[in-house]
């Protein structure tokens, strides 16, 4: 309990996570409106779009126009996703995004084979050309992401040594290319984590790599999202990905209809009520969540947007007294 | 972490919580089918109905017939709720319920005034006549419930000394009437709790009353249900109320549309994955949750019923290997 951080940083991924999976149609103007709304909440980082071929992800066909359309707020890092050099070039060409590179490995070979048609070894080799691509474009590589760090629908439970070895492989690549990696992002891609496994994996990673910061990317597919975030807080983790309203979902067939990312405003609510700063105005964030729900046209899984903030409740009580 | 209990007992409240709040119509046969389905999961305690006037709670108009209709499974304690002697007599008359008495106080006077039109003092005095009612009917009083133990929409945050004093008042009543109270049930009636306040309140109650067991009744109105249950587990709490599929809701106006009780199968999933026994077959419980969803005719908030159990996933992986 004494390890709770004083402040956390939240990387808002709702626009990218949501618009790539929602059936829509969602207009470019609506996407821009949500990003601009999120910019007013105090969030310091917003992942806006994914630069992928429209034939693969129709909801991202207008990615360039979305980025062109939003209004930059000073102090907010707007980011994008890409899977290859063509995507990276599109992101750079917008001139409005915070361009940082990521090394990306996976703790599960079976997932990698299904998802990217690569073995673990081939994927590790691919990181070399990815680093070269970033260096050729003067893009700093600051983040090392590990998918399926807590378990995999195709491989099952992931032994902790496998997680540690894979993270070490990324540090080896980083050393070879003199990258200034700042943190490991551990992703619970298929929602296998529980608070106990969060504690165990984060503890093992911290013990082995005490100089690296850790961030968590948590899915709520089995309802553990907020509990897992709490376990992360207990372990001192201070960086979280989250999606406003719980936007997004799970693209894996066996999870159709299941919840997606951990919900930003629920996470912010928990942090504030436990005395952890986020820099975010929860009531404004709830307004963004309500806008997101209006845009997608169906109920989103977020709960605080329906239950209301306690800060607002305390104000009402004080007024009534 | 070392305080995680080896096993927990779950008191299933879905039928009572759900059918009293669902708009319906839900037939008596459907209510019976859900109870009978829950009986097959390994649950040891199921709260079936509430004996209240039909004009107040139309969904409970058929309470006596529901109890008459379900098939008792040996080893399962079927319980009911009542608010006065007439309700208690109806429950006793069924001849099928496990009849136990509860002392019930509230940590918030403002909530009590709104909800029961009584002051804290009047409510304490009422416990004496309630105990006499139980003793006249040879009903053991084993449980002391505290509503609004973590905060109140009308009073705000509840200081811990107020919680401790109110629990002491119940122990005083218990001593006066030589009751064999077995546990305190702390209810987060209006969803003010966070994992941190669970730790603080449970810790304070345990320190002050080390001989009393503690159970938690958690609402998920602000998405903290499972995280709060995890914090309870960390504090060694081993008795939880929960509702299959997350049945139920929040009757308070400001929470309309918000989630209700913590979801049984999500809680069972978390326990099993962390090595805590529940005696429950999670896959059967998921079937009950799906039946509940079919009966109420709208999506329920439970997530594991959509995401699936990992035990089932591991079997599939083993078969494919």
How confident is the model over B12-43, as pLDDT tens digits? 999 999 998 888 789 999 999 999 999 999 99
The residue to which tokens 């930003």 are assigned: A264
Q: Do A307 and B223 touch (CB under 8 A)?
A: yes
Q: Do A263 and B223 touch (CB under 8 A)?
A: yes
Q: Which residues of B touch A257 (CB under 8 A)?
A: 306
- Which chain A residue is nearest to residue B251, measuring alpha carbons? A307
Which of A227, A302, A307 lies nearest to residue B191, judging by beta carbons?
Answer: A307
Residue B130 in contact with partner chain A when CB distance is under 8 A:
no
- Which chain B residue is nearest to residue A319, measuring alpha carbons? B154
Using 50, 70 and 90 to split pLDDT, how confident is the model at B251?
Answer: low
| DSSP annotation string for A158-192 | --HHHHHHHHHHHHHHHHHTT----EEEEE-TTS-
Domains in chain A: ranges and CATH: 9-320 (3.20.20.70)
Q: Which two tokens stand for residue A64?
A: 């360039």
Q: Do B269 and A227 touch (CB under 8 A)?
A: no
- Which chain A residue is nearest to residue B111, measuring alpha carbons? A317
Q: Which of A2, A113, A192, A307 to mutate to test the interface with B (most CBs of B within 10 A)?
A: A307
Residue A319 in contact with partner chain B when CB distance is under 8 A:
no
What local confidence, expressed as pLDDT, does residue B31 receive? 97
Q: Do B255 and A303 touch (CB under 8 A)?
A: no
Q: Which residues of B touch A4 (CB under 8 A)?
A: 196
B226 to chain A, minimum CA–CA distance in Å?
6
- Which chain A residue is nearest to residue B2, measuring alpha carbons? A196
What local confidence, expressed as pLDDT, does residue A251 receive? 56
- SS3 category, A152: strand
What local confidence, expressed as pLDDT, does residue A78 receive? 98
What local confidence, expressed as pLDDT, does residue B3 receive? 80
Q: Which residues of B touch A197 (CB under 8 A)?
A: 273
Percent share of chain B, pLDDT over 90: 88
pLDDT in tens, B69-79: 999 999 999 99
Residue A223 in contact with partner chain B when CB distance is under 8 A:
yes
CB atoms within 10 A of CB B179: 21
Q: Do A153 and B1 touch (CB under 8 A)?
A: no
Low pLDDT (below 70) residues in chain A: 1-2, 250-259
Using 50, 70 and 90 to split pLDDT, how confident is the model at B158?
Answer: very high
Top-confidence residue, B136 or A115: B136
Catalytic site residue from A106, A152, A250, A271: A250
What value does the CA radius of gyration of chain A take, rounded to a whole number of Å? 19
CA distance A250 to B116: 45
Q: Which residues of B touch A274 (CB under 8 A)?
A: 194-196
**Secondary structure of chain B in HEC code, one letter for each residue:** CCCCCCECEEEECHHHHHHHHCCCCCCHHHHHHHHHHHHCCCCCEEEEEEECCCCCCHHHCCHHHHHHHCCCCCCCEEEEEECCHHHHHHHHHHCCCCCCEEEEEECCHHHHHHHHCCCHHHHHHHHHHHHHHHHHCCCCEEEEEEECCCCECCCECCCHHHHHHHHHHHHHHHHHCCCCCCEEEEECCCCCCCHHHHHHHHHHHHHHCCCCEEEEECECCCCCHHHHHHHHHHCCCCEEEEEHHHCCCCCCHHHCCCCCECEHHHHHHHHHHCCCECCCCHHHHHHHHHHHHHHHCCCCCCCHHHHCCHHHHHHHHHHHC
Q: Do B194 and A273 touch (CB under 8 A)?
A: yes
Q: A10 pairs with which residues across the strands?
A: A240
Q: Do A199 and B230 touch (CB under 8 A)?
A: no
B247 to chain A, minimum CA–CA distance in Å?
15
Q: Do B307 and A230 touch (CB under 8 A)?
A: no
Top-confidence residue, B233 or A3: B233
Residue B253 has pLDDT above 50, yes or no: no
Q: Do A4 and B196 touch (CB under 8 A)?
A: yes
Residue B263 in contact with partner chain A when CB distance is under 8 A:
yes
Average pLDDT over residues B254-279: 86
Which A residues in the span 141-180 are in contact with B, Cβ-Cβ below 8 Å? 151, 153-157
B304 to chain A, minimum CA–CA distance in Å?
5
What local confidence, expressed as pLDDT, does residue B177 receive? 97
pTM of the model: 0.96
Residue A275 in contact with partner chain B when CB distance is under 8 A:
yes
Which of A191, A274, A318 lies nearest to residue B194, judging by beta carbons?
Answer: A274
Residue B130 has pLDDT above 90, yes or no: yes
Which of B4, B195, B313 lies nearest to residue A230, judging by beta carbons?
Answer: B195
Q: Do B230 and A154 touch (CB under 8 A)?
A: no
pLDDT in tens, A238-263: 999 999 999 987 655 444 555 688 99
- Which chain B residue is nearest to residue A197, measuring alpha carbons? B274
- The pLDDT mean for chain B works out to 94
Residue A196 in contact with partner chain B when CB distance is under 8 A:
yes
What local confidence, expressed as pLDDT, does residue A252 receive? 52
Q: Which residues of B touch A258 (CB under 8 A)?
A: 303, 306-307
Which of A154, A227, A254 lies nearest to residue B230, judging by beta carbons?
Answer: A227
Residue B321 has pLDDT above 90, yes or no: no
Active site (annotated) includes residue B106: no
A98 to chain B, minimum CA–CA distance in Å?
32
Which distant-in-sequence residues (6+ apart) come within 8 Å of A2 by Cβ? none
Catalytic site residue from B106, B250, B263, B271: B250
CA distance A265 to A270: 8
CA distance B213 to B205: 10
Q: Do A257 and B221 touch (CB under 8 A)?
A: no
What local confidence, expressed as pLDDT, does residue A259 receive? 63
pLDDT in tens, B297-315: 988 989 999 988 999 999 9
**How do strand A45-51 and strand A9-12 relate by DSSP bridges?**
parallel
Q: Contact B237/B202 with Cβ under 8 angstroms?
A: yes
Percent share of chain B, pLDDT over 70: 96
Which A residues in the span 60-99 are in contact with B, Cβ-Cβ below 8 Å? none
């Amino acid at each position: 309990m004494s390890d709770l951080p004083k402040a956390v940083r939240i990387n808002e991924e709702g626009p990218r996570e949501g618009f790539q999976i929602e059936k829509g149609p969602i207009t470019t103007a609506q996407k821009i409106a949500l990003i601009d709304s999120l910019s007013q909440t105090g969030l310091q980082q917003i992942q806006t779009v994914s630069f992928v071929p429209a034939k693969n992800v129709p909801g991202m066909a207008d990615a360039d126009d979305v980025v062109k359309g939003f209004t930059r707020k000073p102090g907010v890092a707007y980011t994008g996703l890409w899977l290859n050099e063509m995507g990276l070039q599109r992101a750079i060409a917008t001139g409005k995004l915070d361009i940082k590179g990521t090394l990306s490995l996976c703790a599960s070979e079976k997932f990698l084979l299904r998802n990217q048609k690569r073995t673990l070894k081939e994927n590790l080799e691919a990181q070399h050309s990815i680093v070269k691509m970033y260096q050729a474009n003067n893009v700093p590589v600051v983040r090392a992401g590990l998918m399926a760090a807590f378990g995999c629908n195709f491989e099952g439970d992931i032994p902790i040594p496998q997680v540690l070895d894979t993270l070490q492989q990324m540090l080896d690549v980083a050393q070879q290319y003199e990258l200034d990696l700042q943190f490991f992002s551990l992703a619970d891609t298929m929602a296998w984590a529980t608070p106990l496994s969060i504690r165990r994996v984060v503890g093992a990673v911290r013990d082995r790599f005490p100089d690296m910061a850790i961030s968590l990317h948590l899915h709520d597919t089995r309802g553990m999202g907020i509990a897992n975030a709490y376990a992360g807080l207990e372990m001192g983790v201070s960086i979280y990905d989250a999606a406003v309203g719980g936007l997004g979902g799970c693209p894996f067939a066996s999870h159709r209809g299941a919840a997606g990312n951990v919900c930003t405003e629920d996470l912010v609510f928990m942090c504030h009520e436990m005395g952890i700063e986020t820099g975010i105005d929860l009531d404004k964030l709830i307004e963004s969540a309500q806008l997101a729900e209006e845009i997608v046209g169906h109920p989103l899984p977020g709960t605080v947007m329906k239950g209301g903030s306690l800060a607002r409740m305390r104000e009402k009580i004080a007024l009534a007294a």
